Amino acid sequence: MKFAVIVFPGSNCDVDMYHAIKDALEEEVEYVWHDATNLDEYDGILLPGGFSYGDYLRTGAIARFSNVMTEVVKAAEAGKPILGVCNGFQILLEAGLLPGAMRRNEKLKFMCRTIKLRVENNISMFTSEYETGDIISIPIAHGEGNYYCDEETLASLQTNQQIAFTYFGDNPNGSLADIAGITNEKGNVLGMMPHPERAVEELLGSADGIKLFQSIVKQWRLSAYGVTS
């Protein structure tokens, strides 16, 4: 499986994402600059964390208009797996690929620590290697991770099982319904604030994030070839 790590001016977690795919997952991966106009050769698209365009206006608001985002939308519509982490999640929200919006953390402070997440379902292409209810340790590093949506959208997310991860025991940012990660209705786009790419080896303090990437590869292979390995 071949992944693209999209790099925007201000991205700073792109190397972490590249390492997770190349060294921990042992799959093919390339950096792709934000002005790219074709992503056809890639099977999965990864939007890393950071401060795209300095987080001017709103987080992700400028990156949303980069040339590459037209191609990201096309890839999403084609059913390819799209993962946005932290700033990548914010960009997916701004692009309309996921519902809702991101606000400043409730206590108006930048949060950087390892937290507990609960896996809300294992039916998506991002969570199939987990068990529903698993409690996992994943780092966070954000100042605007307070997810918000209206009541109708929240009800839809819950009914359609689009909430992939919730904060467990400690909600660090005030996110509505403890939401840490959501998918689109089709299930091929995931946005999450915690950083699974920073939790792919025990040396890093946790390897709980590797199953997310393994899930992507397994589900892609099932879809593309009808095999699991």
> Which of 41, 6, 3 lies closest to 22 in space, CA to CA?
3
Q: Which residues make beta-bridge pairs with 45?
A: 4, 82
Q: Report the share of the chain in percent with pLDDT over 90.
A: 92
> Which of 70, 32, 24 lies closest to 48 in space, CA to CA?
32
Q: Which residues make beta-bridge pairs with 118?
A: 135, 166
Query: Is 86 within 8 Å of 12 (Cβ atoms)?
Result: no
Would you identify the CATH topology of the domain 2-224? Rossmann fold (3.40.50)
> Which of 116, 112, 127 lies closest to 178 in space, CA to CA?
116
Domain assignments of the chain as residue spans, ordered by start: 2-224
- 177-212 pLDDT tens trace: 999 999 999 999 999 999 999 999 999 899 999 999
In order, the DSSP letters of 93-104 are HHTTSSSSEEE-
Known catalytic residues are 86, 195, 197
pTM of the model: 0.96
Amino acid of residue 105: N
> Which of 1, 63, 55, 65 lies closest to 28 in space, CA to CA?
1
Q: Report the share of the chain in percent with pLDDT over 70.
A: 99
Kindly tell me if the per-residue pLDDT of 118 is higher than 70.
yes
